[in-house]
């Protein structure tokens, strides 16, 4: 993944001018400039910096981004179950790149139901539940 100086500054917890100074000093590995814009590659979600020769040790840490869990009813599976007399689970729980199916889903915390007929999800869902809370799938 590639980011600019502002995004790199947010990830490192430092200012944008400081990131530009590090770039000019050649301390951010793999960074290059296209026209007048710096492009910084990420490794494990963070820019790779070489060690400085002076001053205190750096204290920045990776910022963990919370991944939204999306729950929806898969109507294609419902049709398959009806047509073929099967009993496959129809509740789809998507978190990041993983997708699990279940018969029951319990959300232990706040959540919201979203209806967007004009902006469906990639899978075609127009109604779904979003949550940052833990989800139990049965």
- Tens of pLDDT, residue by residue over 97-138, are 889 999 999 999 899 999 998 988 888 888 999 998 889 998
CA distance 40 to 36: 13
Q: What is the structure's pLDDT at 17?
A: 94
The CA radius of gyration of the chain, in Å to the nearest whole number, is 22
pLDDT in tens, 122-133: 888 889 999 988
The beta strands (E) that lie in the chain are given as: 2-3, 32-34, 37-41, 69-73, 91-95, 98-102, 105-107, 111-115, 127-131, 135-137
Q: What is the pTM of this model?
A: 0.51
pLDDT at 68: 87
Q: Please state, in angstroms and rounded to a whole number, the distance separating the CA atoms of residues 8 and 4.
A: 6
- Output the six-digit token pair for 2: 């590639």
pLDDT number for residue 93: 92
| Percentage helix, strand, coil for the chain under 3-state DSSP, each rounded to 5 | 20, 35, 50
Structure-model confidence comparison of residues 58 and 15, the more confident one: 15
What backbone torsions phi and psi does residue 84 show, to the nearest 5 degrees? Answer: -105, 0
- Lookup: tokens for 36: 């007048």
| Structure token pair of residue 82 | 């009806």
Tens of pLDDT, residue by residue over 42-73, are 988 889 898 877 777 767 676 677 788 999 99
């Amino acid at each position: 993944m590639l980011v600019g100086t502002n995004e790199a500054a947010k990830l490192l917890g430092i200012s944008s001018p400081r990131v530009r100074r590090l770039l000019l000093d050649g301390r951010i590995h793999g960074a290059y400039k296209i026209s007048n814009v710096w492009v910084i590659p990420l490794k494990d979600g963070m820019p790779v910096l070489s060690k400085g020769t002076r001053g205190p040790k750096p204290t920045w840490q990776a910022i963990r981004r919370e991944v939204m869990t999306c729950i929806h009813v898969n109507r294609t599976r419902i049709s398959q179950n009806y047509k073929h007399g099967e009993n496959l689970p129809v509740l789809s729980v998507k978190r990041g790149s993983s997708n699990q199916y279940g018969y029951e889903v319990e959300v232990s915390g706040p959540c919201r139901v979203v209806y967007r007929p004009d902006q469906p999800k990639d899978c075609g869902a127009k109604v779904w539940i979003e949550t940052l809370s833990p989800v139990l799938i049965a």
